[in-house]
Structure 1
């Protein structure tokens, strides 16, 4: 007798695996989807890549010359992809390299090769 794939069985198994995963991490699903969560280490490559993208996109849109220095803090939010809310230090070349703090929000959907700067403001 051949076993055929069953979408219902697959869905049930996926739910069980996710449930065990959340229990093992002591995190509820509601704490993950939609809520902002702090990024413990903002010096990881992915966060730095997102921050550099934010500065570059802001430079293009606002016709300014900011230069990325570092990420001070960050949070993520799981949506259809991931939102990154980062506080970035950047030097303003037009103001004699005066450093400033900026808050950037970037929406990232890597499986679709999509990344968008949602906001970029001086704080």
Structure 2
């Protein structure tokens, strides 16, 4: 069986383009994307979960105020990176924190981080 050299050359030219396009799609799903509706009940639920988990670990008594902004990243589930405003019990001040929560495909949530914004 004889292979046409033109077919071979076409494969050499177009195959990398298809592979790159596929890799780019994968990269886009792994990059952080803005959350369009930060008032979505699920986003609020994620923020409240993060505050509750942080309070348990730190002994703080923060209360949820609002989600200021947020991004999400699709991985094996979804990472949520949110800026949340919290109210302190002692000072009654509102402070902003950046938190990351990983929500697994099963719906289980895992607290990742909670850091004050300078």
**Cα drift, residue 31 of structure 1:** 1.2
Q: State yes or no: 1:97 paired with 2:85.
A: no
1:16-55 to structure 2, matched below 5 A, reads: 28-32=25-29, 34-55=30-51
Larger Rg: 2
Aligned to 1:69: 65
Greater shift, 102-111 or 82-91, is seen at 102-111
Mapped to 1, the partners of 2:32 and 2:26 lie a distance apart of 13
Q: Write out the 4+ residue segments of structure 1 that deviate beyond 4 Å after TM superposition.
A: none
Normalised to the residue count of structure 2, the TM-score between the two structures is 0.75
SS of corresponding position for 1:43: coil
SS of corresponding position for 1:90: strand
The answer to whether the 8 A contact 2:39-2:67 is kept is yes
Aligned to 2:76: 80
Two-structure CA RMSD over aligned residues (Å): 1.4
Give the number of equivalent residue pairs.
94
Stretches of structure 1 that go unaligned for 5 or more consecutive residues are: 1-26
